[in-house]
Structure 1
Amino acid sequence: MSDAEVDADRATVALRAAKNGAAVAADSFRTDLTVEAKNGKTDVVTQVDRDAQQTVIETVRDAYPEDPIVGEEEGALKEVPESGPAWIVDPIDGTNNYVDGTRAFGTAVAAVVDGEPVGAAFDCPALSDTYRVGPKGPFRNDEPLSVSDCNDPEVATVCPTFWWDFDQRDRYAAATREVVKRFGDMRRFGCAQLELAMVATGALEGAMTDMAINSWDSVAGVQLIRAAGGVVTDLEGDRWRHDSTGLVASNGAIHDELLAAARAIEG
């Protein structure tokens, strides 16, 4: 990824905002939390999610007071503007993990201009890992990121990422079937941004879904993968955008097989 594709100032603010939001989450991790359901039994939220989002918003607005902010919780927009700058926030990606005391969660912040990311950060406080794109290339902590060079699907590890709800479990079953029959192994961590970040580090060769995905669950991780040399497309094989249907993310070498697996979910 060239420096021309990164706005160093916005990338720096994204990193600061993600760290500040993650610190709020870390302060209450493994404490007695009040958990509320939003749109289903497995779609949950806590007051910590709201507090972390507010902290992120305040950090961003200190630097860019006029920019619109898109976020998962109330108090933020739900759609990414087609033009101009904006920020995309997931205060706690992996809330179910967070509630259960599992370390796989974090705060994601992406800066976009005209819908395209120009800087992103994902901070996982319980794992002591911070992923970022910009001001210079992609990093986990101080380690430069690069996708895996594995080109054999039969030794590749793939994640059927995001969440198929109870009325879509046939598609969830189809996704896992396609992964286990085509690839060497399967992982799932319950935190979409972490799963995408793991593709960027080479810990996974790919992650895929056939669904349309919320921008706060995806944009930061997608930029990490692309900056690390990977490929992210929609189900048609076209370049993925925040409003695409389906997300197929890979190291590039196994992308055709992963795309075929994602397309096969609906038969």
Structure 2
Amino acid sequence: MTNVDSRLELAERAATAGSEIASEGFRHDLAVETKSNKTDVVTEFDRRSQRRVIEVIEAEFPDDAIVGEEEDALKEVPAEGDVWVVDPIDGTNNFVRGIPLWTTSVAAVREGETVAAANVCPALGDVYTANEDGAYLNGETISVSDRTDPETFTVCPTIWWEFDRRDEYAATVEGIVKRFGDMRRFGCAQIVLGMVASGALDGTVTNVVPNPWDTVAGVFMVRRAGGTVTDIHGDSWTTESRGLVASNGEAHDDVLAAAREAEK
């Protein structure tokens, strides 16, 4: 097993361990706290899950950096060295409402480039993974959709717009419904990116600056599945980018145009 192979195995094992902790609180009475605003929620299971993920990683790679949503983990991805990017519960708003669209996400990054990722979705019974060879759903190889006609696309707005930016959210939605066959919104960016990778969705858009724990694993999956991921300007997406536009690559300019509606 190569070092990269071992990191994919560890990413999935750590995400599974964290998801097991999170599952203990799913659809049970929860004490829900808020962080930066009324819709930015957190529970003790977010914190406990992240601790468990880190515990599993550090048992094998104690010197690697950890970027994570909760507590005192790093909040930006270092450009050098081996790094793990962790979201203990992506989709916490779904989690606290008993909606099964949430995941525990772990990505391995080396010298600024993602090399392995796992999104474990226990309430759905799905596990998305990716390595340098491809992307997988429950162990089976996946690829982005082959649709070419935007009027057959289903596209999803993702991440979230603060209350003082709801005009941008509205413009993005309008940009989607005017261009494409249908729209969805799921409230979990990592699952949405997995759906783009598997071909269930044809694209997803936002013009906000997303956090690395919401995106790194899923972006890697889309790219390994043959898709395209850019920023709002159409340049290749990085963790420092503003906006995120992911698609099957067949009509990326149309998906990008929908995202840019918010800029007007």
- State the TM bucket, normalised to the shorter chain: over 0.9
Say which of 14, 19, 22 aligns to 1:17: 14
Say which of 109, 117, 120 aligns to 2:117: 120
Residue 51 of structure 1: SS of its match in structure 2?
Answer: helix
- Aligned residue for 2:41? 44
Residue 122 of structure 1: SS of its match in structure 2?
Answer: strand
**TM-fit CA distance, 1:11:** 1.3
- Aligned residue for 1:163? 160
Residue 29 of structure 1: SS of its match in structure 2?
Answer: coil
- Aligned residue for 1:98? 95
- Aligned residue for 1:139? 136
Q: Letter of the aligned partner of 1:48 in structure 2?
A: F
Residue 177 of structure 1: SS of its match in structure 2?
Answer: helix
Q: Letter of the aligned partner of 1:181 in structure 2?
A: K
**TM-fit CA distance, 1:75:** 2.5
Report if the CA contact (8 A) 1:12-1:135 is conserved. Answer: no
Residue 108 of structure 2: SS of its match in structure 1?
Answer: strand
User: What is the percentage of aligned positions where both structures have the same residue?
Assistant: 57
**TM-fit CA distance, 1:236:** 1.7
Residue 236 of structure 1: SS of its match in structure 2?
Answer: coil
Tell me the TM-score normalised to structure 2 length.
0.97
Say which of 244, 260, 263 aligns to 2:257: 260
- For structure 2, the residue ranges without an aligned partner over 5 or more in a row are none
- For structure 1, the residue ranges without an aligned partner over 5 or more in a row are none
CA distance in structure 1 between the partners assigned to 2:132 and 2:105 by the alignment: 16
CA distance in structure 2 between the partners assigned to 1:255 and 1:137 by the alignment: 21
1:207 and 2:204 correspond: yes
1:186 and 2:207 correspond: no
- Aligned residue for 2:173? 176
Report if the CA contact (8 A) 1:71-1:89 is conserved. Answer: yes
Q: How do 1:53-64 and structure 2 match up within 5 A?
A: 53-64=50-61
CA distance in structure 1 between the partners assigned to 2:228 and 2:63 by the alignment: 32
Q: Letter of the aligned partner of 2:67 in structure 1?
A: V
Report if the CA contact (8 A) 2:133-2:224 is conserved. Answer: no
Give the aligned length. 263
CA distance in structure 2 between the partners assigned to 1:266 and 1:236 by the alignment: 11
CA distance in structure 1 between the partners assigned to 2:132 and 2:244 by the alignment: 26
Deviation digits for residues 19-49 of structure 1 (CA, Å, limit 9, x no counterpart): 1111111122111100000000000000000
Q: Letter of the aligned partner of 1:186 in structure 2?
A: M
CA distance in structure 1 between the partners assigned to 2:18 and 2:103 by the alignment: 9
Report if the CA contact (8 A) 1:154-1:184 is conserved. Answer: yes
- Aligned residue for 2:151? 154
CA distance in structure 2 between the partners assigned to 1:251 and 1:7 by the alignment: 26
- Aligned residue for 1:198? 195
Tell me the TM-score normalised to structure 1 length.
0.96
**TM-fit CA distance, 1:178:** 0.1
Deviation digits for residues 37-69 of structure 1 (CA, Å, limit 9, x no counterpart): 000000000000000000000011011100010
Deviates more, 1:6-15 or 1:230-239: 6-15
Deviation digits for residues 224-248 of structure 1 (CA, Å, limit 9, x no counterpart): 1001110001122111111111111
- Aligned residue for 1:239? 236
Moved over 3 A (4+): none
**TM-fit CA distance, 1:136:** 5.0
Report if the CA contact (8 A) 1:9-1:135 is conserved. Answer: no
Q: Letter of the aligned partner of 1:175 in structure 2?
A: T
CA distance in structure 1 between the partners assigned to 2:135 and 2:176 by the alignment: 27
Q: Letter of the aligned partner of 1:55 in structure 2?
A: R
1:7 and 2:4 correspond: yes
Report if the CA contact (8 A) 2:132-2:224 is conserved. Answer: no
- Aligned residue for 2:82? 85
